[in-house]
Structure 1
Amino acid sequence: MNISPFFRNLRSAYQAELEDLRSDSEGRDVMRQRLTQRRKELKFLLQMMELSPEMVAVILHQGFTFKSPAMMEHLLSLAPDEFPDWDSLSDAIQPAPWAHDLIQVIRKEPVGDWFLTVAAGLEYMHHKPATAPAHIHEPEEDADEDLEADMNPLDAEEESDARSREEAGADWMVEQGFDRKD
């Protein structure tokens, strides 16, 4: 499967976001509670959809059933400006009943449909073993090396852009009063 540099760059950030939500400082699984809290903060998070989509996409974790793997794999090969309309993906993606209200709020935003496409792509990669990182719990340096090994030299600019977006998103979160992630 051919994954575009855009999705390749966001994949590890999305996985890291989910890992951050998974457990508390004592190692207890608190993902469900944290996702519920994030979903309640949707109006605030909408501001970050374009800048840091991976940070917002977690609110739709486990919110899609994928009916057409071929269409999803094609989607993952596209650049962000080539994404199909969200409505055209209705045959490939079935939202969970709890996600319908969130999706309607998101679709009202100027980049809402684009963001939903990104969120669905990230979630599809997360659940598809062939696209998931081999070792999610690797030290960060090893994960970066694996990601770089997957990329060809032409993708360096996209990687730089993704890191800039991630840093800008982190800076914005700090400005909003959140602690910076290590």
Structure 2
Amino acid sequence: MKFSRYFQELMLAYKAELDDLRSDFEGKDVMKRRLKEKREQFAFLLPMLQSNPEMLAPAFHDAFLFMNPLAFEALAAKERDKLPLWSSLSKAVKVEPWAEKMVTQVLAEEGGQLFLVTAACLEYLSRSVHVRDSALANTDEDDDSDDSAQDRDDSENGDLDGHYGRHGRDDGDDGDDIDLEEAGADWLAEQGFDRKD
């Protein structure tokens, strides 16, 4: 998949924001609670709609139903000034009922149409990355193999068939001796944090 510079930069920031929301300092999954808090603060975050869309967009995590995924793959290749209006995407994406009030609030703001197109595209792209990450995390290969596959995935924007081919299930011996602390350190290093050796 080809990314425009606009989405390439925003996707990195959006993914980092979702990762921050996903777990606390103890590694516990707190995403549901943190998303709820972000949605409760939505009106206060609206001023960031144009300057920092990646900060507001996570409020729409899981808010979109993608009826035409190919449309969003095409959008990901467009620069900001070439994006269509939100109203033109009515057949390509639907909004979950719980998010409709937020959509109305956004559309009342200057730049709201562009923001919604951007947020939906970021969410589509993050789901694609999440599917690939989940496929890698559930294999029986060792951590080093997962890291190199992830690096290749990030640099080439994904080749899912290649990953499944490389990470096919074996006799299961590799999965029995996973060092959770080491795996956690590897994951933090991938996110850009310094390794605590």
Partner of 2:5: 5
Partner of 2:42: 42
Q: Given residue 126 of structure 2, which amino acid in structure 1 is its aligned partner? A: H
Q: After TM superposition, give the deviation of residue 69 of structure 1 in Å.
A: 1.4
Q: Given residue 96 of structure 2, which amino acid in structure 1 is its aligned partner? A: A
- Please give the residue correspondences for 1:92-103 in structure 2 after superposition, counting only pairs within 5 Å: 92-103=92-103
Q: After TM superposition, give the deviation of residue 149 of structure 1 in Å.
A: 5.4
Distance across 2 between alignment mates of 1:83 and 1:131 = 25
Partner of 1:70: 70
Partner of 1:157: none
Decide whether the 8 Å contact of 1:126 with 1:132 is kept in 2: no
Q: After TM superposition, give the deviation of residue 26 of structure 1 in Å.
A: 2.1
Residue aligned with 1:62, SS: coil
Partner of 2:105: 105
Q: After TM superposition, give the deviation of residue 9 of structure 1 in Å.
A: 0.9
- Please give the residue correspondences for 1:142-157 in structure 2 after superposition, counting only pairs within 5 Å: none
Q: After TM superposition, give the deviation of residue 128 of structure 1 in Å.
A: 1.5
Q: Given residue 112 of structure 1, which amino acid in structure 2 is its aligned partner? A: G
Residue aligned with 2:94, SS: strand
Deviation above 3 Å: which 4+ runs of structure 1?
129-136, 145-151
Distance across 2 between alignment mates of 1:127 and 1:6 = 18
Q: Given residue 72 of structure 2, which amino acid in structure 1 is its aligned partner? A: M
- Please give the residue correspondences for 1:71-86 in structure 2 after superposition, counting only pairs within 5 Å: 71-86=71-86
Q: Given residue 62 of structure 1, which amino acid in structure 2 is its aligned partner? A: D
Q: TM-score, normalised by structure 2?
A: 0.66
Q: Give % identity.
A: 38
Residue aligned with 1:65, SS: strand
Decide whether the 8 Å contact of 1:125 with 1:132 is kept in 2: no
Structure with greater Cα Rg: 2
Residue aligned with 1:128, SS: helix
Distance across 2 between alignment mates of 1:75 and 1:19 = 23
**Structure 1 unaligned spans of 5+:** 137-141, 152-181
Distance across 2 between alignment mates of 1:103 and 1:58 = 13
Q: TM-score, normalised by structure 1?
A: 0.71
| Residue 16 in structure 1 maps to residue 16 in structure 2 | yes
Partner of 2:27: 27
Q: After TM superposition, give the deviation of residue 131 of structure 1 in Å.
A: 9.5
- Using the TM superposition, name which of 20-29 and 97-106 deviates more: 20-29
Q: Quick one: higher RCO (CA 8 Å, sep 6+), 1 or 2? A: 1
Number of residues of Structure 1 aligned to a counterpart in Structure 2: 146
Residues 12-49 of structure 1: per-residue CA shift (max 9 Å, x gap): 11111011111122222111111111011111111111
Q: After TM superposition, give the deviation of residue 147 of structure 1 in Å.
A: 10
